[in-house]
Amino acid sequence: MGKKVKFNRKPVMNWAKTYKLKTPKKSDYIEKIQGVIDNIGFTTAADMQLESSPVHQAINKNHIALIERFNRETATVVIYVHEMEVDTQEIPYEDISNENLELISNLLAEYAIQKEECC
């Protein structure tokens, strides 16, 4: 009969390292946004014919801040109260959430492709 082999320790699998996914950084999204803006220029949610603008902040059901214009360095946030525009602010892309940056970069890229195809 064979000799039993004893291990000094159990083999350890570093699951966190094995399954670590690279998540894009804000700077990655901002670079993509700036690259598209360099190609197509300043654009708005209306130009892109979006059904709704990305929500920057929802204060309550009647008070909301939407990201509606896209410049190279900043986005313009329009603040609405009861669907009436009350204020605008220029927000640097660094102050926008990763989720919104991802959404904006994808929307701008799709718009740039559509713009190239039609013209």
In a domain, 35, yes or no: no
The tens digit of pLDDT for each residue in 49-84 reads: 999 999 999 988 899 999 999 999 999 999 999 989
When divided into structural domains, the chain yields a total of 1
Whether 105 is in a domain gets the answer: yes
pTM of the model as a whole = 0.76
Residue given tokens 């690279």 in the structure block = 22
Q: Indicate whether 94 belongs to any domain.
A: yes
89 domain-assigned: yes
2-47 pLDDT per residue, tens: 566 555 555 555 555 555 556 778 999 999 999 999 999 999 999 9
Nearest to 34 by CA among 116, 118, 94: 94
Q: What is the pLDDT of residue 92?
A: 97
Contact 62, 53 (CB under 8 A): no
